[in-house]
Amino acid sequence: MNILFERTGPLTELSSYPQWAQDMVADCAATKQRVLDHDIWRMMTALQLDHESTRNFMMGLWPFIERFPSFMALNLLKTRYGRSPGDDKARRWLVRNIRVEQNHAEYWLNWADGAGVARSRLLDELPPHGTDGLARWCEDISARGSLAAGMIATNYAIEGVTGEWSQMIYDSETYRQGFDPSIRTSALKWLHLHAAYDDTHPWEALEIVCTLMGLEPSADDVAHLAECIKRSYTSMILLGDRCIQSCPERVLVQEDAA
């Protein structure tokens, strides 16, 4: 029997969630930190990314950005109104937030344009080889996984860590000043929106997943959710690796470390 979870504490405090969720988040923390410690963010904020790496990043993440509302729609298709409190909560949340995401693709194109990667390249050319793993994984888990797995992989894991690396970049005065003042606001709008210090979307997604799973899910089900989170983080790490694999600055850092 699924023992219903109802949050009573603050939304953005992990202690408000069941012990199994707290343990799951802790289990995934090291993998998440690898995303945040990736060289690409340091190089980007220091204006050390060469044009090829910048192009790889903008074009490599574009399929994920453009299709993110589709992943949410695939998860929405799994819901049934009135079936459970978790279904109803997920349905309301997904319908509302699909609308929120509708303009984010345009904002990404503006960022790419401002960074020197023409929007026509993103729209008309294939992404660089080896950068499609994140989008393919999110589409697969959203289409074929459970509702909880699809939301934990996309709306919790990827949306959560993206908010954190976006904040690191947007907080960089060096990076912001690298854009011409005439286009700075429009070029950085995607970053500005995703770098919100008080973004609640990942926490809301975690609450929905906990409502779906209840207070005492099976150990196997929790382990599966943790693997989904880690795979999302790992997919982003691999995408970052591919984007900067030939960047001269990264090669220099690796040689110095050796």
pLDDT of residue 258: 45
Query: Per residue in 94-150, pLDDT tens?
Result: 999 998 888 999 999 999 999 999 999 999 999 999 999 999 999 999 999 999 999
Has residue 8 been placed in a domain? no
**CATH code: domain of residue 55:** 1.20.910.10
CA–CA distance, 55 with 226 (Å, rounded to integer): 32
Rounded to an integer, the average pLDDT of 206-212 is 98
Which of 57-61, 138-142, 241-245, 252-256 comes out lowest in average pLDDT? 252-256
pLDDT of residue 99: 87
Is the model's pLDDT at 255 over the cut of 90? no
pLDDT of residue 3: 87
Query: Per residue in 80-97, pLDDT tens?
Result: 998 999 999 999 999 999
CA–CA distance, 25 with 239 (Å, rounded to integer): 22
pLDDT of residue 234: 98
Rounded to an integer, the average pLDDT of 61-69 is 96
Is the model's pLDDT at 159 over the cut of 90? yes
* Confidence class for position 26, pLDDT limits 50, 70, 90: very high
Write the burial class of residue 37 (CB in 10 Å: 0-12 exposed, 13-18 middle, 19+ buried): exposed
pLDDT of residue 211: 97
Has residue 19 been placed in a domain? no
Is the model's pLDDT at 198 over the cut of 80? no
Question: Could you tell me the residue range of the domain that residue 49 belongs to?
Answer: 28-257
Rounded to an integer, the average pLDDT of 191-216 is 91
Has residue 11 been placed in a domain? no
Contacts of 17 (CB under 8 A, 6+ apart): 5, 7, 206, 207, 210
How many folded domains does the chain comprise? 1
Q: Give the whole-number percent of the chain exceeding pLDDT 70.
A: 95
Has residue 10 been placed in a domain? no
Has residue 21 been placed in a domain? no
User: Alpha carbon 221 to chain centroid distance?
Assistant: 22
Number of H-type helices and E-type strands within the chain: 15, 0
